[in-house]
Each structure stands twice: as C-alpha cells, then as structure tokens.
Structure 1
Amino acid sequence: MTCIFSALLLTTSLSFAQKGSEVVATVGKKNITVDDFNKKYSEVKTQTLNPPPKSVFLEDMVRYEVGLQEAQKRNLERDPIVIDRIQQEMYKALLEKDLGQRVQKIQVSDAEMKAFYKNNPEIRTSHILIEFKPGASAEQIAEAKKRANEIYEEVRKSKRPFEELVKLYSDDPLSKQAGGDVGWQSRVTLVPSYYDAALSAKVNEIKGLIETPFGFHIIKVTGRRSFEDANKRQVRAAVFDDV
C-alpha cells in the first residue's frame, strides 16, 4: 500500500493553501485534501480542550486510512464481529437522533443540570476489550476472563504506551484503530458498569477488569469535561431519565 505524506510541509500547506482541494496526504488511491483535514480537525476541536497539533492529527488521519484500507483488503466488512459492531453503532446513532428530538421537549433548569453533572460528568476513555460472544457458556466466559486477567497484569507492569497494548490485544476492531479511544461519553451512552468504573478512576488511571455484555474491559480514563464544555443535550436527557 502506497502512502505519500510529508509532515514537514504540513504547516505550510495547511496555512497557505488557497484551495480546499489541495492534497496534503495520499494513502493508496485516497487523497486527503485541505477541506477533508479542516472538517475533521474542526470536529476534534469541539470534542476536546487540548486538540493535538495539526501535524500529529494528520498523521492520525493517515494511520486511520491505512488501517481502513487494510481492513477492506481483508474483507473485514464481512466479519461477524465487525458486522455486529457496525449494527451497534447504527443503533446508537438512531437512539441519539431520537434522543435529540426528545430533549427538545424536556424542560430542565441549568441548576438541575449542574447538580446532576457534578456526580455524573462526561468522561473520555480508551479500552482493551476481551470479548465473549452473546450466549457464551460459563466455560467460554471463564476462558475470556482468564485471558483478560493475563492481559491486565501485563498492562499494569508494562512500560509500553496503553495505545500499543490496545493494538496487540483488543478485540474491538473499531476503537482499536484509534488506540482504544471511544471518545467523550456520558452516563446515558455507556453501559452502567463501564461508566461507574471510569467515574471512580482519575485521569490517566487504568481500571480493570470491568465486565459488560460485550466482554471484559481494561479501561484507561483520558479526560473529564467541565460542565461548561459538556454536551448539554445529553446532560438534560440524563437528568430527565434520572427523575
């Protein structure tokens, strides 16, 4: 797979490009243009208080495209695990769309939201998933837990970055390409056991093992949002559901 990329020229090409169609990186037959980059980078800046430098973010975009093309080359879109994950994301998107329509009708004061948010903040995490399939037998779950414990011990002792260990061990093909990152989430968008474990941890702390219907998770908390930067729509919905 051919990848053409010059980080050295990134600042110049992004700062002085006159056309949004100007190419800043090429992966295989896929060109990443200035417009593509600016759109993605703008999204990231709304999701974090400390966005990465532009050169680092472009490297991430290139790595993501390399991984995506490799996955397509291996026909992973036909893999049952990948299909299941895609369906879960589609369902989550549907819920969030429906949630938005519901939230518009909900009347919750800022004081109520702030009081709730104090104990239920939005959290950003990365994770390693050791999966067991729906309907797994007790023996299969025990085997997954044994493997998860072995990986957890290595994570605790290893000096390697968590993101590298994610790529070695995680069974979650979607977050794996992003070093395990699952983005900013709230109590209404996460499985309770996962959220509660993340809530009890400090930023950069690693927690394990956390069992959910998807398997066993090793979680690293990477951020907490202040109320001022929170997704008010989700906070309002969470307060409504908590009543």
Structure 2
Amino acid sequence: MKTSNYLAILALAFSATAFSQDKEQPATNPRNTNPEAVVATVNGVEIKKGQLDQAYEQNLMYVSDKIVTKEKVLNDIINREIGIKKAKEANYQNDPVVKAKMEDVLYHAQISKDLEKKLQAITVSDKEAQDYYSKAREYRTAHILFRIRVAPDKGETEEAMKKALEVYKQLQSKPQLWPELANKYSQSSTAPTAGDLGYLPAVKYAPEFFKAINGKPNGYISPPIRTQFGLHIIKVLGVKEWKEVDPALYKKIVYDQKRDRILDEYFADARKTAQIKINKEFLK
C-alpha cells in the first residue's frame, strides 16, 4: 500500500464523527449531561456522550460539504470502530508500513508532550523578521540545469561539468545568448522560459544555489554550481526590498528557525543518555 494511502487512513482515523440508525437505542433522558452516559455501542465498544460531544465540537471547527450534526459525527465514530476492528482482524497492526507510520505518530506525540509549552511561547517581532531578510533576500533567478543522477558514476559527472563549462564560457563572452542556450541545454522544466524560476525566498533554494547568488547584482551569471539536482548556471534577474515582500512569510520562516533550535537542543540533551554508535565509514 502506498504511503499516501496510509496517510489518508490515518487522517480518517483521527477525524472521528456521526450517527447510524442501526440498532438505535431509545434515549431514556434526551437531556442527559453525564459525559459517561452511553450513546451507542458497536461490537461491544461503548461510545460515550463526552466522546461524542468532543468530536462534535472538533468537527464544527472545520468547513465541510456536509452539515455537521451529532448524528453525522456519531456515524463517523461508529465507522471508525468498525474499521479498527477489521484492521485488527487482518493483523494490520503488525504490517511493517503501518508500524512505521504508528511510530511516526508516537515520535511526534512525544515531542508535542515535551515541548508544547516552549513551542507555544515562541514569538517573532517585525524587527527579527526584517533582520533575517537583510541577510536572505528574495531573489528572482533563472538557471540552466545539467542533471546528474543521485548516485552518478565519475564519467557522468565529468561529462556534465565539461558541457556546463562550455556553456558558461559562451555566456561570459555573449551573455545575450542566455535565452537561446537555456532553451537548448537546460534539463529543467523552465527551459522554454529561459530558465526563469521567478521570485523565491531563500529557504526555497538549495543551500548551494542561494549561496552562489546571495549579494550578487542583477545580471550576474554564476559558474556551474553543484546541488543535489545537478549542475546549475545561475543568472540573477532581480531582488526585492523589504517593503515589497510579505512580512508574515518571513515571520513564519524565523518562527521555524526558532522551533528548529528548540528541537536541536531537545535532542542534544536526549542523546547524552542514549547509547549511540556510528560507523563513519558508511557516511563517506
């Protein structure tokens, strides 16, 4: 089963919600406010009022193409219990892919439990976002890409570099040839538009790519730069000033950086008591 299918299953599993008329029990007290009151049973599993009320409130927080009623929400809870029973009967809990996905859930649940307060306390000021932007501005670039496989042989890499250097030398003497050479040689989907990638924030570029253009003027053409995608010859087409960008985007980027530092510190501390052995020869 594909990963996307498992993600869809997990999404359904956490969406609990609606009411089936099958074996409906007459309510002895329709105004019962006891959260432990049993609303329905399915295959011997009790669904309690508190569980239904919580799922109903959660469903009301999201837009749906169906009207959210307690009956619909209860139906979803019943369907979920039926699905779980069938999955257990099929022994899916021991399927390697399912186990890996459930371990992902446990991993994120543990981090959430340990770091929730710290993550909720993160704030980002306008100045912090602007200071970040002063070092990582939003560039418009074009590139000519010479693709190299993830695990290339030596000959493939050398041939790609040879061709990239030939094109770069042509551009050094005749930069006006950029559209023609990009359309002819680039192995990117942007080749028909002269390799134009548009404006992108720094985090959307491969690190080596952004390092090659950061601080460079309009019209700058880089020598071939290697990234995980291959070799790029890059041309700077423009750069935005702070007043031209969306501050909310850059607050989010700075937030993500602060979050990542908290995670790094969390795992650095956790690794102190973990038994870890690394065979570095496999990292070369």
Report deviation, 1:203. Answer: 1.0
The residue that corresponds to 1:215 in the other structure is 230
Q: Does 1:194 align with 2:209?
A: yes
Secondary structure at the aligned position of 1:218 is classed as strand
Q: Distance in 2 between matches of 1:188 and 1:223?
A: 17
Secondary structure at the aligned position of 2:222 is classed as strand
Could you tell me whether the CA contact under 8 Å between 2:148 and 2:157 is conserved in 1? yes
The residue that corresponds to 2:157 in the other structure is 141
Q: Deviations over 1:169-194 (max 9, x none)?
A: 1111x211211100111121110000
- Relative contact order higher in (CA < 8 Å, ≥ 6 apart): 1
Report deviation, 1:106. Answer: 6.8
Q: Deviations over 1:100-143 (max 9, x none)?
A: xxxxx974211111111111100000011111122211221121
- The one-letter code of the counterpart of 2:232 is H
Task: Give the CA RMSD over aligned residues.
Answer: 1.8
The residue that corresponds to 2:245 in the other structure is 230
Give the aligned length. Answer: 138
Q: Does the C-alpha gap of structure 1 residues 180 and 197 become closer, same or farther in structure 2, counting only changes over 3 Å?
A: same
Report deviation, 1:159. Answer: 5.0
- The one-letter code of the counterpart of 1:164 is E
The residue that corresponds to 2:200 in the other structure is 185
The alignment-based identity, stated in percent, is 30
Which TM-score applies when normalising by structure 1? 0.53
Q: How does 1:149-188 map to 2 (within 5 A)?
A: 149-158=165-174, 160-172=176-188, 174-188=189-203
- The one-letter code of the counterpart of 1:238 is I
Q: Provide structure 1 residue ranges, at least 5 long, that are not aligned to the other structure.
A: 1-104
Q: Deviations over 1:67-97 (max 9, x none)?
A: xxxxxxxxxxxxxxxxxxxxxxxxxxxxxxx
Secondary structure at the aligned position of 1:160 is classed as helix
Q: Distance in 1 between matches of 2:257 and 2:210?
A: 15
Could you tell me whether the CA contact under 8 Å between 1:106 and 1:236 is conserved in 2? no
Q: Deviations over 1:18-40 (max 9, x none)?
A: xxxxxxxxxxxxxxxxxxxxxxx
Could you tell me whether the CA contact under 8 Å between 1:127 and 1:220 is conserved in 2? yes
Secondary structure at the aligned position of 1:228 is classed as helix
Q: How does 1:30-41 map to 2 (within 5 A)?
A: none
Could you tell me whether the CA contact under 8 Å between 2:126 and 2:247 is conserved in 1? no
Q: Provide structure 2 residue ranges, at least 5 long, that are not aligned to the other structure.
A: 1-120, 259-284
The residue that corresponds to 1:19 in the other structure is none
- The one-letter code of the counterpart of 1:212 is T
Match of 2:135 among 88, 94, 119: 119
Secondary structure at the aligned position of 1:115 is classed as helix
